[in-house]
Amino acid sequence: MQLDRIDRKILQELQKDGSLSNLDLAERIGLSPSPCARRVKALKDAGVIGRTVTLLDPKALGLSLTALIHISMDRHTPDRFEHFEAEVANYPEVQECYLITGQAADFVLKVVVKDMDTYQQFLLGKLTRLEGVTGVQSSFVMRRYKDSTELPVPEEYPIA
């Protein structure tokens, strides 16, 4: 699938505001509603456009502590990783979990909790109890300069 300038504009607008009606979207990109709807449908069918979600304000919810956690495992076997993955996916405090290269760590987690007490409970009660976890290194977010869900939409022709 090839994206032209209009497709990219559609993607940019929807990334900024997923509640746009097709009418409003069409107006913003300078197209009439029907071709606009057709393009959006094609982008959905191609899997480029995914879910629409509502973002909440962590502060308003009293979630004032965000931690980035680097985790090392004792052994790098598929077993270890799969088990870790499955457990971590169930923790609502964990927003992101990546297996990474480089560094000393194997995993990076982004965790959001109410306060340091809750964080300690999460760390001692859940994370460090997981099999194979040998090292845990916490960093805390002091300031959130940018926290976006927007992806850059490439200039050229990407292939879906």
Report the interface residues with its own copies, using CB under 8 A.
Answer: 11, 14-19, 46-58, 60-63, 66, 68, 85, 88-89, 92-103, 105, 107-108, 112-114, 137-154, 158-160
| Number of chain positions touching DNA (CB under 7 A) | 13
3-state secondary structure of 67: strand
User: Closer to its own copies at the Cβ: 17 or 74?
Assistant: 17
2 contact, one of DNA, its own copies, none, CB 5-8 Å limit per kind: none
| CB 74, min distance to its own copies, A | 18
Task: Tell me how far CA of residue 119 lies from CA of 37, 54, 113, in angstroms.
Answer: 45, 25, 6
34 contact, one of DNA, its own copies, none, CB 5-8 Å limit per kind: DNA
Q: For residues 77 and 2, what is the distance between their CA atoms, to the nearest angstrom?
A: 39
User: Closer to DNA at the Cβ: 10 or 73?
Assistant: 10
Are the C-beta atoms of 84 and 134 separated by less than 8 Å? Answer: no
User: Closer to DNA at the Cβ: 31 or 136?
Assistant: 31
3-state secondary structure of 32: coil
Q: For residues 15 and 52, what is the distance between their CA atoms, to the nearest angstrom?
A: 9
54 contact, one of its own copies, DNA, none, CB 5-8 Å limit per kind: its own copies
Determine the longest span between alpha carbons in the chain, in angstroms. Answer: 58
Written as one letter, the residue type at 106 is D
Residues that bind DNA (CB under 7 A): 6, 21-24, 31-35, 37-39
